[in-house]
Amino acid sequence: MAFHVYRGVNHDLGEVYHGVSMQPRRRIDGSHCEGGTIALSHWDCENHDIDWRKVSTHRSQQVASRNAHDHEQTYRHRNGYRNIRTSGI
C-alpha cells in the first residue's frame, strides 16, 4: 500500500492545498470537486485554473500526513500564494 502526498495550486484564488490519498486522482476528480473537502469547498474545479501534482509517496498514512502538514507550514509558492491549513488525517 502506498499513500501519496499531492498539491493543488489554485491560480485564480492564489491558494495551495496539500492532501494525502491512496488514490489522489479519484480525490481530485471526485470529492474535492464536489464540495466533499471542507477546506476546498470554495474552489470551483470547473472554472478555476488549478494545477494538481503528486509530491511524494510513502508506505504509511502517518508519514504521508506528517509530510503534507510539513508542506502546509513550509511550502512557498513563487507567486506568494497562501497555503491552506487543514486539521489532517
Does a structural domain hold residue 88? no
Q: Which residue has the cell 508542506?
A: 71
Q: Find the mean pLDDT for residues 60-75.
A: 96
Q: With 70 as the cut, is the pLDDT of residue 89 above it? A: no
The domain total for the chain is 1
Does a structural domain hold residue 64? yes
Does a structural domain hold residue 89? no
Does a structural domain hold residue 33? yes
pTM of the complete model: 0.91
Domain of 59 in residue numbering reads as 3-83
> Model confidence over 16-67: pLDDT tens digits?
999 999 988 888 777 777 777 889 989 998 899 999 999 999 999 999 999 9
Q: With 70 as the cut, is the pLDDT of residue 88 above it? A: no
Cα–Cα nearest to 43, from 70, 17, 76:
17
State residue 86's pLDDT score.
Answer: 86
Does a structural domain hold residue 21? yes
